[in-house]
Amino acid sequence: MENNYKSGFIAIIGRPNVGKSTFMNKVIGQKIAIMSDKPQTTRNKIQGVLTQSDAQFIFIDTPGIHKPKHRLGDFMVKIAENTLNEVDAVLFMINAEEGYGRGDQFIMDRLERVKSPVFLVVNKIDLVHPDKLLPLIELYKEKYDFEEIIPISALQGNNVTHLLEVLKNHLPEGPQFYPADQVTDHPERFIISELIREKVLHSTREEVPHSIAVVIENIEKRESNAIFIQAVIVTERKSQKGILIGKQGSMLKNIGKEARKDIEALLGSKVYLELWVKVQKDWRNKQSQLFEYGFRQ
């Protein structure tokens, strides 16, 4: 604790698509949380670590807190709620373009029980006129006693440095938990599966919903320093298997090609990626399989 070094854990919450992953990636400067224009693509928490000369921020990109629709949803909300009371600060992110909705109400109800300081981050200010921004901020101010309210554009980077300064002021004195060059403490396995999942969602558009999982079966470093990865895409329906494989395997081949590029950038070595598709009916409602597919806390 020399020189009043500060450190702390910061949870990022908010409805799907408000820009949580974009913010994380902006701050950390490396693609570790997946980004997508479809909701709920982050199912597990990813930590990003930002180390400065006088502070270390450990960000937790929580699974979105939203009304559970099935048992996987319950499980996610519970993880998120537990997390919120263990962190030093909570960033509640909203989309400046959208009004106050039921999803926000659901989150705010949960925030009532949270003891950690909560900051309202109004994201995507690049998309709105200031005339629209101020009434929205006033509305939120009336509903909850936020520690501070900070408008940003995660995509363009506007005001992101200011947000970090404000956060730093609220962080407790503490040690540097992670080495300065470490940006994430998640096993590469999880990040790789998220990168593959992102490519699946991008390539298949609306045809394949979020009910897919990617399981990394094997990662092996070979003598040539190349890395061999075998992964399975798990879908709920047979029809989706067909879409995922595509004509003569063209879809799967493309997903593999795109994912491989990102994984090579992540690992800094040549990667051979072997993908296949498996149908597993109703996997989301089978509690035991949550663990099998890596949702263990």
Q: Which residue is nearest to Mg ion (CB)?
A: 21
Q: Phi and psi dihedrals of 7, rounded to 5?
A: -155, 155
**65 labelled as ligand-binding?**
yes
CB-based contacts of 49, cutoff 8 Å, min separation 6: 28, 56, 57, 58, 59, 177, 178, 182, 183, 184, 185
Dist. CA 264–CA 225, nearest whole Å: 12
In angstroms, what is the minimal distance from the CB of 163 to ligand GDP?
Answer: 12
Provide the binding-site residues for ligand GDP, judged by CB under 6 A: 14, 16-22, 35-37, 42, 123-124, 126-127, 153-155
CB burial string 82-99: b at 16+ within 10 A, e below: ebbeebbbbbbbbbbebe
Closest approach, Cβ 26 to ligand GDP, in A, equals 8
Nearer to ligand GDP, 20 or 260 (CB): 20
Separation CA 54–CA 5 (nearest Å) = 5
> Which of 154/234 has CB closer to Mg ion?
154
Q: Which does 18 bind (CB under 5 to 8 A by kind): K ion, ligand GDP, Mg ion, none?
A: ligand GDP
Instruction: Find all residues with CB under 8 Å of 74, minimum gap 6, and list them.
Output: 68
State how far the Cα of 242 lies from the Cα of 272, in Å rounded to an integer: 23
Token code pair at residue 176:
């540097």
Query: Is 247 annotated among the ligand-binding residues?
Result: no
Helix (H, G, I), strand (E, B) or coil at 244: helix
Residues near K ion (CB under 5 A) are: 36, 41
Q: How far is the CB of 153 from ligand GDP (least distance, A)?
A: 4
* Least distance in angstroms from the C-beta of 200 to ligand GDP: 15
Q: Where are the beta strands (DSSP E) in the chain?
A: 6-13, 46-51, 55-61, 89-95, 118-123, 148-151, 213-221, 227-235, 271-279
Between 39 and 246, CB nearer to ligand GDP: 39
Give the residue with the Cβ less far from Mg ion, 46 or 271: 46
Residue with tokens 């702390």: 8
Q: What's the closest the beta carbon of residue 33 comes to Mg ion, in angstroms? A: 6
- Does the annotation list 16 as a binding residue? yes
14 annotated as ligand-binding: yes
* Residue 17 labelled as part of a binding site: yes
Nearer to ligand GDP, 166 or 232 (CB): 166
| Feature table: binding site | 14-21, 61-65, 123-126
| Feature table: binding site for GTP | 14-21, 61-65, 123-126
Q: Please give the residue ranges that form the binding site for Mg ion (CB under 5 A).
A: 20-21, 42
